[in-house]
């Protein structure tokens, strides 16, 4: 159990994810932590950040306290630059206009492959999940940020199904398979920020969150993950970051 003072695990995920986004980027974001993080980044350091929703909305203004529960909800369209069809949204990806993809998943493996399709035997799955949506397109064509809870059942050596490709089997396998752009950029969890080795493309720890030890990360990871003995500690959420987050989500729809 990680002892935190003044913020929840969800607030930590949102703040750490927001810090990874830069002004001027176009971000394909889903609801939940991705939307909250993108909106937080806009308010704090990226006024020129453009949010893109799978439902066809480009550049919306997300009203504080009125976070949409779905990317197809009308609150997503307020003051938007454009309203497009889903086909046109995916064409923007294919044309290279989207910089960052941002989503989660039920499972992720050591090479950043995501599973949101099913858990268990494909012929008789123990759990059926929502499936890909635009997840495959997003992960195939953008730099990906993934936000998820750090648990051994989620961080597995090999996902049960590759819904959204990371680096596939590592090294040059992604590029060799025809995915010449994009890739996994960072994975943000409630324990650490994870990056990928430049050669092997295996997941590694970049920084540990306050109060987290290397042993706790290993205990909650289903594969051998490399951790630098000198790994730095992530700067904790500031009072200002948490205040803006609370303004955006006062009812704690996403941050409870």
Catalytic residues: 54
DSSP state of 247: H
131: closest CA among 146, 119, 116? 116
Report in angstroms the alpha-carbon separations of 59 from 17, 33, 62: 19, 18, 9
The residue ranges of DSSP E strands in 107-225, in sequence order, are 107-108, 114-115, 118-121, 124-128, 143-147, 183-188, 192-196, 203-208
- H/E stretch holding 44 reads helix 33-44
92 strand-pairing partners:
none
């Amino acid at each position: 159990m990680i002892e935190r003072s003044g913020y929840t695990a969800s607030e930590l995920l949102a703040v750490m994810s927001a810090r990874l986004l830069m002004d001027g980027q176009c971000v394909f974001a889903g609801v939940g932590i991705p939307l909250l993080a993108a909106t937080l980044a806009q308010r704090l350091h990226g006024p020129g950040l453009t949010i893109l929703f799978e439902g066809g909305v480009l550049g919306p203004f997300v009203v504080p306290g009125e976070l949409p529960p779905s990317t197809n909800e009308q609150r997503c369209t307020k003051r938007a630059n454009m309203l497009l069809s889903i086909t046109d949204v995916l064409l923007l990806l294919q044309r290279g206009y989207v910089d960052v993809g941002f989503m989660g998943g039920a499972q992720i493996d050591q090479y950043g492959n995501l599973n949101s399709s099913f858990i268990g035997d494909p012929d008789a799955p123990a759990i059926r999940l929502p499936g890909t949506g635009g997840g495959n397109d997003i992960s195939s064509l953008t730099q990906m940020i993934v936000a998820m809870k750090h648990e051994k059942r989620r961080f597995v050596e090999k996902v049960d199904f590759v819904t959204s490709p990371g680096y596939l089997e590592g090294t040059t396998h992604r590029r060799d398979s025809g995915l010449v752009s994009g890739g996994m950029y960072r994975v943000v969890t409630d324990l650490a920020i994870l990056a990928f080795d430049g050669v092997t493309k295996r997941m590694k720890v970049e920084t540990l969150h306050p109060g987290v030890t290397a042993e706790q990360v290993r205990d909650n990871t289903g594969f051998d993950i490399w951790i630098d003995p000198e790994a730095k500690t992530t700067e904790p959420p500031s009072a200002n970051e948490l205040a803006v987050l609370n303004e955006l989500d006062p009812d704690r729809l996403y941050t409870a």
